[in-house]
Amino acid sequence: KDEFNRAIKSVNSCDNEFFRSSFSDKSQLLIVLSSLKSATENNVPEVAELLSIYQKKTESLSKKLNQRIKKMIEEVSEMHCFDDGIATLTALDKYLTIGLQEHIQGKLTFDCKIQIKEWQEEKQEIDLKMVFGGNDERQVIKYW
């Protein structure tokens, strides 16, 4: 029973670390969720309780991701500081691509690739305006 309780704490700890670290590899959330899913598929009576834990964790994961990314999109849009947002979404997109997506119950309200592309374009536009002193960069280049 102690080992079971430690396993449950480990799931919560990985989840918290995943969000705290801006979707860093060191959280091992994907490994933990994959192991938990595998354990629930074996229909072993001793781990039947894990199915409920896995389902709750995967449902809460999509809700937390949607809330976190919505807030981040609002902050980046307001402050126009794209670098951290792009890095964070790139890390999340990597995780989703290598398997996290299959552990998410519910729909994500964002698309990492689309948002990253939009931010990169906005950042490039702002960077060009800064380089050219707010002048139309096409006109400046034309006269060079």
List Cα–Cα distances, 31 to 18, 55, 73, in angstroms: 12, 16, 27
104 SS3 class: coil
Ranges of the chain whose pLDDT falls below 50: none
Q: What pLDDT score was predicted for residue 50? A: 79
Say whether pTM exceeds 0.85.
no
- 67-81: per-residue pLDDT in tens? 999 999 999 999 989
Q: What pLDDT score was predicted for residue 115? A: 97
Q: What pLDDT score was predicted for residue 92? A: 96
31/19 Cα distance (integer angstroms): 15
103 SS3 class: helix
Q: What pLDDT score was predicted for residue 24? A: 80
Q: Burial code of 20-52, b = ≥16 C-beta within 10 A, e = fewer?
A: eebbeeebebbebbebbbebbeeeeeebeebee
CB-CB contact of 105 with 64 (8 Å): no
- Those residues whose C-beta lies under 8 Å from the C-beta of residue 100, and which sit 6 or more positions away, are 29, 30, 33
